[in-house]
Amino acid sequence: MNNFYKYSLLFAVTMILVSDLLIPYNSFSQEMEPRNYSSIPIHMNVAALTYLYSTGDVVSDATSPIQNLDLNSNTVGLGFLRSFGVFGKLCKIQISVPYTFLGGTAKLNGKDTSGSRSGFSDSKVKFVLNFIGTPALLPKDFVKFKEEFVLGTSLVIALPTGQYYDEKLINLGSNRWGFKPEVGMSYNKGPFYFELFTGIWLFTSNNEFLKSKTLTQNPLFSMQVNLSYFFPSKIWIALNTTYVNGGETKVNGALQNNFQKNFRGGLTLSVPVNMQNSFRLSASKGVYTRAGGDFTNISLTYQYIWF
């Protein structure tokens, strides 16, 4: 394998992001995924191991007896990505399985209390299909390809696999399905990559909320903007922003006054080690939060690639 071939595949390695689906159990609508629609060769496999630390105040709905909720969570997640071609277009499938250790304090009916949870959070599956700008290329052809404008779409499915107790207000799982269709575009100019993603979360009902109640949630709109810069060494850094709007919940048909209008900012640093190994460090924080999701994330991911 010549140096040019290795160098081009190393560039592809740095653009893989598997672990962004490992977002805190109650705030996965605010994930940040730079390079989500980037070009990679087909028949590529990526395994990822992530450690994610999250801390912050999750604002409960207005009718909840829980106030001043302050949680700390430690999540270890496994992720897998596979790229392939469909009718000459680049496709990807991602799977993530997180395990979370959660602890915190709150006021319950005016009294201080504390508690903890440990177990699996909801798993996610993501399908990506790029329509324009990233053809399905074998590694030998990919080394000659120059990415410019990309337009793609994706679907995230959140599976109700997380730990859930129907008598408790705080759980690691949501006991419902979630679906997020999204459209994304990116543009490459020199060492800069600009990205814009827009999507909407749709949720099924939780018919076992506090045992006998039904919890529903209105659609939640999300928009993400990323600006990445690639250094000659193929290390890259990205400025990440995301905005969500909507998602008010109902309990037995009664609105809970928790309409979300939240804005987050973050940074991502990706460092390749060689053609098969890379590390990524990410941090994000709530900039403006109307309801829920006011937390801080720090994550470290190791990725291994093979064909």
Q: Each residue of 202-230: pLDDT tens digit?
A: 999 999 998 999 999 999 999 999 999 99
Can you name the CATH fold of 3-306? Lipocalin (2.40.128)
The pTM score is 0.90
Q: Each residue of 31-55: pLDDT tens digit?
A: 677 888 989 999 999 999 999 998 8
Q: How far is CA 160 from CA 107, 116, 172, 174, 177, in A?
A: 28, 20, 10, 6, 6
The ranges of the chain with pLDDT < 50 are 24-26, 59-63
Predicted pLDDT of residue 16:
67
Predicted pLDDT of residue 227:
96
Instruction: Give the start-to-end residue ranges of the domains of the chain.
Output: 3-306
Predicted pLDDT of residue 161:
94
